[in-house]
């Protein structure tokens, strides 16, 4: 009897096991079908990451919230910098916001309703303000400067930004079957993702991405989600209107290659009656303006007679503005917007008074810590000068590890800002160099230009090849068993006279591409890498081969008359 009972119990147990297993299989199968086969019917609220007034750009949710409503909407500076212009700057010390584009400069202070556009007053109806450490910008100046368009939906609280020049693909949902009331807008590109919104037929959409059978779309109420492409009917592509350029004066373009010469002015401008003809030269750049103090005041040596002479001889005048090569003054003058703007206003005034055609910026001997401030200064200066129809150029040295003479230059950013960039491709061996050598050997000059074109991506047709119209007479003299090296600078005429006086016979130095002489004098060896027609021809050829905008030569007073004929070619 016990045996028969045990058999019956075993049969019941196995039966229960199979029944349980079958139920489990059915449950699992049901779950699988529900989750993996049937579309999800679960509804969830759009995830705005807890933001009260979420911002969308190109269908992407931004990390910070807007504040305000309607015309009073304000946007976080971080969102504007990320999506509109990364160069927008806020200076905490002066509470100044600065925005600059190709042709406009806007600046205003927090908690103030008056700003300036290219020095003209600009009224704000809403101020910029700090809220819990976040700076919020009113939309009015962003609309003025960047053509920003803002769409707010009161029902969802979303704010959608459109930038000038954006292309937006519009669409609408297809006509539904009678049994369908809405189309599910899903959280992700899958029918198994939850539904964030039920879309009606014919509802307007913006298409932000095509994801293999799905579209990432945004509804007019700002909610973003995914629709199957079969549920979408494409419409027209809208172009967000480009912001019109400011009414800047057209500058006088140079036809053909630029042949610029610098005019070194120390105490007063030269007597133009003594200069003589300069065939081929179409731009002169006198060194007239310099930084006077840390407050941003500018000293002028400008001469209207020189401008008149240049214009009468069909030459433009791009006056040079330097920082006096004083690093401490430069740090102070660049440190705040008010000081930078002081420089800008004075340079602009001088440009108007003397009827200049352009400004050439020559800031050298600057601390690397001032790199960003120098670039910002050029960013602020450029639109102001362009509004006057002036050509803007900047001088840069070849790339090197020198902190004060090279590392402070952001050549790529500067190249994007200015009309022309002069590369001072000389002083390969400088006045106090421990080793004698060429001021600018041809391979070295070519390498300097190629680096800026290739590494800094400055367009070749914005670059001018710097040409030295001088050389150095090097002296190598034995002192206490070592060779002491010294040099003195000499122009082309002085070198020619020296060669004739000493009856020297220059020989071509293949390594430098220049003629070279050496001789003994007073127990020392004199060495000269000569700047003459041979080297000038090679430099002009290099500028042509690289497709440069032209050449810039330092300085007029060093040149022989035949130099102009070579440069003119």
pLDDT, position 29 = 62
pLDDT, position 93 = 86
100-129 pLDDT, tens per residue? 998 899 999 998 999 999 888 989 999 999
**Residue 31 pLDDT grade (very low, low, confident, very high; cuts 50, 70, 90):** low
Closest Cα partner for 548 from 366, 363, 370, 421? 421
pLDDT, position 253 = 75
pLDDT, position 243 = 66
Distance CA 254, CA 250 (A): 12
Phi, psi of 364 (to 5 degrees): -135, 170
pTM across the whole model: 0.87
Q: Is 248's pLDDT higher than 60?
A: no
145-184 pLDDT, tens per residue? 899 999 999 999 999 999 888 899 999 998 877 667 899 9
pLDDT, position 551 = 98
Q: Is 84's pLDDT higher than 90?
A: yes
pLDDT, position 269 = 84
Going 364 to 370 to 375 to 379, the CA torsion angle's sign is negative
Closest Cα partner for 474 from 517, 444, 445? 517
- Residue 517's DSSP bridge partners are 528
If you average pLDDT over residues 8-30, what whole number do you get? 68
566 vs 15, higher pLDDT: 566
In the numeric block, which tokens belong to residue 117? 């556009």
**Residue 295 pLDDT grade (very low, low, confident, very high; cuts 50, 70, 90):** very high
In the numeric block, which tokens belong to residue 554? 């330092």
Distance CA 328, CA 19 (A): 90
| Strands of the 105-109 sheet, one edge to the other | 89-91, 96-100, 105-109, 114-117, 120-123
Q: Is 16's pLDDT higher than 80?
A: no
Residue 285 near residue 330, CB atoms below 8 Å: no
- Average pLDDT along the chain: 92
If you average pLDDT over residues 24-50, what whole number do you get? 77
Distance CA 466, CA 446 (A): 11
490-505 pLDDT, tens per residue? 999 999 999 999 999 9
Distance CA 92, CA 336 (A): 10
Closest Cα partner for 380 from 411, 336, 424, 423? 336
pLDDT, position 7 = 60
Residue 528, by phi and psi: left (phi above 0), alpha (psi -120 to 50) or beta?
Answer: beta
**Residue 28 pLDDT grade (very low, low, confident, very high; cuts 50, 70, 90):** low
Residue 54 near residue 158, CB atoms below 8 Å: yes
**Coil, strand or helix at 261:** strand
If you average pLDDT over residues 237-249, what whole number do you get? 71
Q: Is 5's pLDDT higher than 60?
A: no
pLDDT, position 254 = 85
367-382 pLDDT, tens per residue? 999 999 999 999 999 9
Rg (CA), the chain: 35
Per cent of the chain over pLDDT 90 is 83
Domains (ranges, CATH) in the chain?
A: 54-162 (3.30.457.10), 167-239 (2.30.30.40), 257-415 (3.20.20.80), 424-547+558-569 (3.10.50.10)
């Amino acid at each position: 009897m016990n045996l028969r009972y045990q058999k019956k119990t075993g049969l019941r147990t196995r039966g229960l096991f199979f029944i349980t297993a079958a139920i489990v299989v059915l449950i699992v199968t049901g779950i699988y079908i529900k989750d993996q086969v049937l579309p999800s019917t679960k509804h969830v609220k759009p995830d705005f990451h807890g933001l009260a007034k979420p911002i969308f750009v190109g269908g992407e949710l931004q990390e910070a919230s807007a504040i305000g409503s309607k015309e009073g909407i304000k946007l976080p500076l971080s969102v504007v910098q990320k999506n509109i212009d990364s160069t927008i700057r806020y200076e905490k010390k002066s509470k100044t916001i600065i925005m600059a584009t190709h042709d406009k400069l806007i600046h205003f202070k927090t908690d103030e309703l008056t700003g300036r556009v290219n020095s003209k007053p600009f009224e704000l109806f809403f101020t910029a303000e700090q809220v819990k450490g976040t700076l919020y910008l009113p939309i009015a100046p962003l609309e003025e400067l960047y053509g920003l368009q803002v769409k707010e939906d009161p029902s969802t609280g979303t704010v959608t930004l459109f930038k000038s020049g954006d292309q937006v693909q519009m669409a609408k949902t297809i006509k539904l079957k009678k049994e369908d009331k809405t189309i599910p807008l899903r959280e992700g590109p899958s029918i198994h993702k939850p539904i964030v919104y039920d879309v009606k037929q014919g509802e307007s959409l913006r298409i932000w991405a095509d994801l293999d059978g799905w579209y990432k779309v945004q509804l007019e109420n700002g909610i973003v989600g995914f629709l199957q492409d079969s549920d979408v009917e494409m419409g027209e592509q809208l172009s967000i209107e480009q912001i019109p350029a400011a009414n800047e004066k057209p500058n006088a373009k140079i036809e053909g290659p630029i042949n610029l010469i610098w005019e070194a002015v120390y105490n007063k401008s030269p007597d133009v009656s003594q200069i003589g003809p300069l065939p081929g030269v179409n731009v002169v750049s006198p060194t007239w303006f310099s930084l006077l103090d840390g407050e941003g005041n500018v000293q002028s040596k400008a001469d209207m007679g020189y401008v008149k002479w240049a214009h009468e001889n069909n030459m433009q005048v791009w006056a040079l503005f330097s920082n006096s090569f004083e690093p401490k003054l430069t740090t102070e003058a660049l440190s705040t917007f008010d000081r930078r703007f002081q420089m800008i206003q004075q340079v602009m005034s001088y440009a108007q008074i003397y009827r200049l055609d352009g400004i050439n910026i020559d800031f050298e001997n600057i601390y690397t810590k001032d790199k960003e401030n120098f670039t910002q200064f050029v960013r602020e200066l450029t639109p102001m000068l362009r509004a006057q129809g002036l050509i803007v150029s900047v001088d840069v040295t070849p790339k090197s590890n020198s902190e004060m003479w090279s590392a402070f230059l952001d050549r790529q950013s500067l190249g994007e800002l200015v009309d022309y960039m002069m590369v001072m491709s000389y002083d390969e061996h400088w006045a106090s160099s421990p080793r004698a050598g060429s001021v600018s050997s041809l391979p070295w000059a070519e390498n300097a230009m190629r680096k800026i074109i290739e590494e800094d991506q400055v367009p070749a047709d914005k670059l001018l090849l710097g040409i030295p119209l001088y050389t150095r007479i090097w002296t190598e003299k034995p002192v206490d068993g070592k060779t002491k090296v010294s040099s003195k600078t000499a122009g082309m005429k002085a070198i020619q006279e020296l060669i004739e006086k000493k009856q020297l016979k220059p020989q071509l130095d293949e390594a430098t591409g220049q003629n070279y002489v050496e001789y003994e004098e007073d127990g020392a060896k004199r060495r000269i890498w000569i700047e003459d027609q041979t080297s000038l021809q090679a430099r002009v050829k290099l500028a042509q081969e690289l497709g440069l905008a032209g050449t810039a030569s330092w300085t007029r007073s060093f040149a022989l008359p035949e130099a102009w004929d070579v440069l003119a070619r």
